[in-house]
Structure 1
Amino acid sequence: MALGSSESSKELAQDKPAIALVAHDACKKDLVEWARFNRGTLSAFTLYATGTTGARLEAETGLKVRRLLSGPYGGDAQIGALVSEKRVCCLIFFWDPLTPQPHDVDVKALLRLAVLHNIPTACNRATADFLISSPLLKRLIADPNG
């Protein structure tokens, strides 16, 4: 079930660092394949994802994902709020640069917030591979407060 505005802060509480995962329709398969390959590392994090992406990640990788609303219905804004609150340590957003998105304004706002709040962001598989294999990210697993 997607987390809506009525969800309590207790349900959003986390005891480990978090990663936000988002993918446009044309990129969902790539994100799922990437997540499956990196399942071991990702399982050490709290994972947030927009609706459909989160459902596919859970079903196809077995990872536990806190699903938010679908992107066009406010999920990108919810991820943006997590970014603004520094509740995620990185954003993996496989976006489709060739297909116009009806919620393009939300997509741009999310990417703007990630840059503004200095959140490492990967917009394609190559960059996501760099982030997930970074010793700095692995250090967060060992010491979430450091």
Structure 2
Amino acid sequence: MTDKPIIALVAHDEKKDALVEFAINHQKTLIEYDIIATGTTGGRVAKACPKLNVRAMKSGPLGGDQQIGGMIADGKVNMLIFFIDPLTPMPHDVDVKALMRLAVLYDIPMALNRATAEELLEKDI
């Protein structure tokens, strides 16, 4: 990682394709950030956007959400883009809620859908 601001990218279940498409469409902006992401999402974003500096954590249900949450608590994450799938059962629902709670508690900008994510990137936070 560099001294660039850090964005966390997380996508659950059926939202992974949408987050990869988002990253592809916003590469010119995202290149200004270091990116951390949960395992599968990070791997897919890195493959689709090889110019981006992506560091993949563990898969979300295997602890990746908690790894990112710890980085938020340590003040190392500047923004969370978290595409949650509201239409599938979430066996890791507690992980989702914990990550959202930490983003709120530590007052970092958080987007839970594409429209809000685009607004945050436009504001260059």
For the criterion TM > 0.5, the same-fold answer is: yes
Counterpart residue type for residue 33 of structure 2: F
Return the index of the structure with the highest Cα Rg: 1
How do 1:18-37 residues align onto structure 2 when only pairs under 5 Å count? 18-37=6-25
**2:106 aligns with one of 93, 117, 128:** 117
Q: Which residue of 2 aligns with 1:141?
A: none
- Work out whether 1:85 is the aligned partner of 2:74: yes
Structure 1 vs Structure 2 CA RMSD: 1.0
Could you list the structure 1 runs, at least 4 aligned residues long, displaced by more than 2 angstroms after superposition: none
Partner secondary structure for residue 117 of structure 2: helix
Structure 1 distance, partners of 2:115, 2:11, is 15
User: In 2, distance between residues paired with 1:100 and 1:82?
Assistant: 26
Unaligned runs of 5+ in 1: 1-12, 138-146
C-alpha distance in 1 between matches for 2:121 and 2:23: 10
One-letter code of the match for 2:116?
T
Q: Aligned letter for 2:62?
A: Y
Render the CA deviation track for 1:12-51: whole Å, top value 9, x for unaligned. Answer: x541110000001200111111111110111111100000
Q: Give, in whole Å, the separation in 2 of the partners of 1:26 and 1:77.
A: 20
Which secondary structure does the structure 1 equivalent of 2:53 belong to? coil
Amino-acid identity (%): 56
- Quick one: which of 42, 55, 58 aligns to 2:30? 42
SS of corresponding position for 1:100: coil
SS, match of residue 93 in structure 1: strand
Q: Residue in 2 aligned with 1:101?
A: 90
Partners of 2:92 and 2:12 lie apart in 1 by: 11
How many Å separate the matches in 2 of 1:85 and 1:91? 14
Structure 2 regions of 5+ residues with no counterpart?
Answer: none
Distance 2:7 2:33 in 1: 7
Task: Give 1:106 shift.
Answer: 1.0
Q: Indicate which of 66, 78, 85 corresponds to 2:55.
A: 66
